[in-house]
């Protein structure tokens, strides 16, 4: 086919590469920075792509497809692989039949995750091969290798990317088209391979060791492990985006660029080490390469002078190179480089967000408003604990709402609330969780609560989308990843079916109703569920007229500022509403709260066209 | 390219990247979005050359800082190389901390002073005003792109071809107008 050059993100390139490699089934749960991979796969109408309920199901789906003889792609963010690690480990022991590639999109620097973890260790842990592209071209090219390796060695392949690879765009020469030899599905019954009873698993465990030995031999001549000779005084072993940074920082060095970072090519490393005066490893996060190279009996440094925490960049590596005696002192931070004290701009709940009302209500209950005083003494008086979860609503942690006490991982709000209650805290415990997160991993917590006679309240924030990651559909929306109408899983009968008797559904934009619902749940000793329902204004754009502040009626009490709406702004003493941001009559929360009735639709304010 | 989430910076930098590719350059761009859909500080690094390695620009090495919002210009000005160009939309979006009274929004002179540590080439442009005059604040990104286009070796035809590939046809005309207005604005403030 004709070669074309395109500017693609790493994620788009991974998807196109997988498609051209003949993938028939793709599954994922949305999670930054991996989301766009499945979004791109879903656009190909001659394959099957789905948003799975969660990553564990996605992984199991991939296993099933590969067992059944077609190539499968599973894409997840770093913590998604934690969720899916059980089936991942199982796929590693059973092997796959048709190719199965698992993309782990890690997040060094914690741009949008709850932790910083180096998923390269999963490859070693599961004894499976791992590839690491360093730009979009490689993301595209490596996919073909990944599937071929998967089938040749009968193993899932971990393809590890990072935020910087996934979300950067670079030029890709698209030089293939979809493989026409995509296999027909067909499952071959093989109890010893697919049924991991101990008696069969014991037979397969040694095969994993043999596989690693063969993979290590393969890695020696693997074309994506390459030596780029430069000066022989310094040899840099590197992979992923760190390679790009290192090329700029050490322009005169020799490079051993590893496309396959597990298992490592011992002989190639030996050859490289023997021909350079000093070998260093430049890698993000943990000393994965460094430790594994040392385990092969070679001396290499790296983490002695390059940080093990956070994302790298040229400057950080340059400073490390200086500390290691490899580079002259970088031009010290000049006085003008000192970052001025400026107001921060953290992400906020959007104007018109359906989460704003409920969190405002929660922030005013159980004396939580004392948190605003920010003195430690006040905290002792709080009579309400709010366990939180993963989603846009986690932003309600910030001032002025301060309406969240914990956030850990998907679904944890409910289990944590149960634990606090069972521990005997005097305060009422409320778990807050979004609809997509609830379906991902909140349901089992409800089952636990019903079974173990809990008295917690669970608030499900139902905006009918997975908003945080860019509005993906989920089992509750009634639309599939490929845009087809399907049956929606309904939350109300679901929680009732589990056995919760006190279930209320409340309009997200009705403050009075929200307050009444929370109050009645707090006062009740029974376990209760409140479903707060309202559309995400960024997802469902409605024609609406903005609100405005009547300057004559406004006595500047500041109540409207306490909801944290970005459209409500104060300059000097004057509060005004940014008409470009306000969603107006689709929300009206500020209007409901204003004690002076000074907020009204822009058109209704006589002559007073506010700023 | 810096600004506030929701200002259309990513689309603008995508179009810039595609135009540079069409003009025959190697291109890498990377966006730092933080975790929210909207409202947070957004930075898009764009590198254009014969050959690009890292997608990230080193602090103090950017030729141009294109700021969609004044406070963000001040925040990211340190990325400019000495003598680089700052193009700033003369528009304030006070963050929540300013509305809550815990922080102050810097005035134009303070912003200018911060950038002057790096360069004298500081240009405030009326991007938001022009976009609102065109009836849609959302075309601000094309106004800003038009401003920058004056400094880049990419011809107007290429710009518009790339715009037409990314922008729905029913709103393409107003976006073209926005781009032209931006280009003219840049020329009016003697950007080049």
Chain B, nearest residue to A565 by Cα: B96
Tell me the β-bridge partners of B47.
B28
Domains and CATH numbers, chain A: 4-217 (3.40.50.970), 226-323 (3.40.50.920), 356-533 (3.40.50.970), 547-604 (3.30.70.20)
Q: What is the largest CA-CA distance in chain B?
A: 49
The pTM of the full predicted model, rounded to 2 decimals, is 0.96
pLDDT above 80: residue B39? no
Would you call A313 and B117 a contact, using CB atoms and an 8 Å cutoff?
A: no
Instruction: Using the structure block, give the residue that is written with the tokens 């933080």.
Output: B34
Quick check: B123 and B86 in contact, CB under 8 A? yes
* The dihedral sign for the CA sequence A611, B5, B11, B14: positive
Would you call A538 and B37 a contact, using CB atoms and an 8 Å cutoff?
A: yes
Average pLDDT over residues A325-335: 77
Summarised one tens digit per residue, pLDDT across range A468-513 is: 999 999 999 999 999 999 999 999 999 999 999 999 999 999 999 9
Q: Quote the CA–CA distance of A367 and A15 in Å, as a whole number.
A: 50
Domain total in chain B: 1
Q: Which residues of A touch B60 (CB under 8 A)?
A: 337
Of B4, B54, B94, the CB nearest to A571: B94
Q: What's the residue count for chain A?
A: 611
Q: Quote the CA–CA distance of A425 and A421 in Å, as a whole number.
A: 6
DSSP code per residue over B59-70: TT-EEEEEESSH
Predicted confidence band at A362 (pLDDT cuts at 50, 70, 90)? very high
Summarised one tens digit per residue, pLDDT across range A162-210 is: 999 999 999 999 999 987 666 688 999 999 999 999 999 999 999 999 9
Residue A562: name the closest of A270, A364, A316 by CA. A364
* The dihedral sign for the CA sequence A87, A89, A92, A93: negative
Summarised one tens digit per residue, pLDDT across range A563-610 is: 999 999 988 889 999 988 899 999 999 999 999 999 999 988 855 454
DSSP code per residue over B4-27: ETTSSHHHHHHHHHHHHHHTT-EE
- Residues 68-107, chain B: which have Cβ within 8 Å of A? 71-72, 74-75, 78, 93-106
The per-residue pLDDT for A94 is 98
The per-residue pLDDT for A611 is 41
- The H or E element spanning position A386 is strand A384-387
CATH code assigned at B184: 3.40.920.10
Q: Which residues of B touch A575 (CB under 8 A)?
A: 99
Q: Quote the CA–CA distance of A415 and A313 in Å, as a whole number.
A: 39
Of A7, A342, A470, the CB nearest to B71: A342
Residue A530: name the closest of A486, A495, A580, A563 by CA. A495
With b for 16 or more beta-carbon neighbours within 10 A and e for fewer, the B75-111 pattern comes to bbbbbbbeebbbbbbbbbbbbbbbbbeebebbeeeeb
Q: Quote the CA–CA distance of A97 and A118 in Å, as a whole number.
A: 28
The per-residue pLDDT for A169 is 98
Give the list of residues 6+ apart from residue A98 with CB closer than 8 angstroms, or none: A65, A66, A67, A68, A69, A70, A71, A72, A151, A183
Domain carrying residue B148: 2-188
Q: Which residues of B touch A564 (CB under 8 A)?
A: 96
Determine if the peptide bond prior to A263 is cis (ω within 30°).
yes
pLDDT above 80: residue A2? no
Cα dihedral B157/B163/B164/B167 (nearest 10): -170
Q: Which of B26, B31, B36 to mutate to test the interface with A (most CBs of A within 10 A)?
A: B36
Phi, psi dihedral angles at A575 (to 5 degrees): -100, 130
ipTM value for the complex? 0.95
pLDDT above 60: residue A280? yes
Q: Which of A3, A4, A5, A7 to mutate to test the interface with B (most CBs of B within 10 A)?
A: A7
* The dihedral sign for the CA sequence A514, A516, A517, A519: positive
Would you call A171 and B27 a contact, using CB atoms and an 8 Å cutoff?
A: yes
Inter-chain contacts counted by CB atoms under 8 A, chains A and B: 159
Q: With 0-12 CB in 10 A as exposed, 13-18 as middle and 19+ as buried, what is A382?
A: middle
Summarised one tens digit per residue, pLDDT across range A410-447 is: 999 999 999 999 999 999 999 999 999 999 999 999 99
Would you call A7 and B27 a contact, using CB atoms and an 8 Å cutoff?
A: yes
Would you call A400 and B106 a contact, using CB atoms and an 8 Å cutoff?
A: no
């Amino acid at each position: 086919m004709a070669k074309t050059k395109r500017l693609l993100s790493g994620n788009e390139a991974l998807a196109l590469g997988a498609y051209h490699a003949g993938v028939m089934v793709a599954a994922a749960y949305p999670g930054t920075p991996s989301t766009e991979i499945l979004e791109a796969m879903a656009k190909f109408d001659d394959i099957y792509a789905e948003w799975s309920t969660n990553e564990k199901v996605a992984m199991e789906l991939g296993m099933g497809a590969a067992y059944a003889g077609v190539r499968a792609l599973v894409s997840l963010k770093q913590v998604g692989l934690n969720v899916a690690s059980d089936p991942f480990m199982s796929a590693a022991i059973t092997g796959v039949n048709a190719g199965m590639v698992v993309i782990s999109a890690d997040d060094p620097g914690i741009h949008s995750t709850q932790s910083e973890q180096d998923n390269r260790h999963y490859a070693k842990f599961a004894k499976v091969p791992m590839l690491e592209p360093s730009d979009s071209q490689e993301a595209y090219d490596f996919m073909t290798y990944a599937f071929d390796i998967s089938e040749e060695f009968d193993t899932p392949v971990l393809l590890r990317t990072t935020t910087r690879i996934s979300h950067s765009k670079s030029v890709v020469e698209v030089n293939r088209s979809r493989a026409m030899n995509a296999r027909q599905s067909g499952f071959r019954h093989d109890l010893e391979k697919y049924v991991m009873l101990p008696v069969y698993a014991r037979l397969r465990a040694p095969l994993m060791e043999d596989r690693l030995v063969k993979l290590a031999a393969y890695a020696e001549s693997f074309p994506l492990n390459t030596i780029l000779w430069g000066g022989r005084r310094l040899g840099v072993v590197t992979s992923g985006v760190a390679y790009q940074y290192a090329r700029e920082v050490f322009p005169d060095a020799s490079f051993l660029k590893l496309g396959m970072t597990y298992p490592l090519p011992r002989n190639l490393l030996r050859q490289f080490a023997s021909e350079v005066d000093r070998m260093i490893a430049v890698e993000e996060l943990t000393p994965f390469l460094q430790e594994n190279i040392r385990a092969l009996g070679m001396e290499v440094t790296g983490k002695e002078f390059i940080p093990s925490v956070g994302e790298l960049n040229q400057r950080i590596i340059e400073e490390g190179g200086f500390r290691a005696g490899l580079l002259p002192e970088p031009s010290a931070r000049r006085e003008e480089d000192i970052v001025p004290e400026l107001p921060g701009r953290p992400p906020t709940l959007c104007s018109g967000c359906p989460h704003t009302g409920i969190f405002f209500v929660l922030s005013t209950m159980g004396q939580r408003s004392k948190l605003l005083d920010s003195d430690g003494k006040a905290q002792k008086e709080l009579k309400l604990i709010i366990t939180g979860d993963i989603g846009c609503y986690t932003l309600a942690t910030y001032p002025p709402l301060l309406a969240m006490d914990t956030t850990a991982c998907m679904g944890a709000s409910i289990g944590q609330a149960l634990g606090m209650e069972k521990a005997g805290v005097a305060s009422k415990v409320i778990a807050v969780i979004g609809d997509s997160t609830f379906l991902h991993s909140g349901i089992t917590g409800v089952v636990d609560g019903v079974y173990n006679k809990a008295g917690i309240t669970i608030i499900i924030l139902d905006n009918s989308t997975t908003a945080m990651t860019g509005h993906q559909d989920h089992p509750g929306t009634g639309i599939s990843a490929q845009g087809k109408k399907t049956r929606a899983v309904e939350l109300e009968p679901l929680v009732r079916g589990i056995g919760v008797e006190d279930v209320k559904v409340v309009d997200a934009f009705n403050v009075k109703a929200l307050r009444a619902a929370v109050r009645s749940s707090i006062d009740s000793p029974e376990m209760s569920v409140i479903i707060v329902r309202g559309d995400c204004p960024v997802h469902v754009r409605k024609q609406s007229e903005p609100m405005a502040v009547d300057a004559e009626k406004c006595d500047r009490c500041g109540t409207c500022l306490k909801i944290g709406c970005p459209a409500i702004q104060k300059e000097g003493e004057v509060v005004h509403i940014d008409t470009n941001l306000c969603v107006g009559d689709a929300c009206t929360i500020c209007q409901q709260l204003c004690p002076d009735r000074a907020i009204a639709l822009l058109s209704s304010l006589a002559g007073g066209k506010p700023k | 390219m810096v600004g506030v989430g929701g200002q259309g910076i990513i689309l603008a930098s995508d179009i810039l990247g595609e135009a540079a590719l069409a003009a025959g350059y190697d291109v890498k761009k990377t966006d730092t979005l933080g975790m929210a859909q909207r409202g947070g500080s957004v930075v898009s690094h764009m590198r254009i050359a014969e050959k690009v390695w890292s997608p990230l620009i080193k602090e103090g090495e950017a030729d141009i800082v294109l700021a969609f919002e004044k406070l963000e210009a001040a925040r990211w000005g340190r990325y400019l190389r000495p003598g680089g160009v700052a193009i700033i939309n003369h528009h304030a979006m006070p963050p929540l901390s300013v509305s809550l009274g815990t922080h102050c929004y810097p005035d134009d002179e303070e912003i200018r002073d911060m950038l002057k540590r790096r360069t004298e080439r500081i240009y405030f442009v009326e991007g938001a005003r022009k976009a609102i005059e065109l009836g849609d604040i959302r075309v601000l990104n094309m106004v800003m792109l038009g401003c920058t286009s004056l400094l880049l070796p990419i011809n107007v035809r290429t710009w518009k071809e790339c715009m037409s590939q990314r922008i729905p046809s029913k709103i393409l005309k107003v976006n073209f107008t926005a781009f032209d207005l931006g280009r003219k604005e840049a020329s009016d403030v003697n950007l080049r």
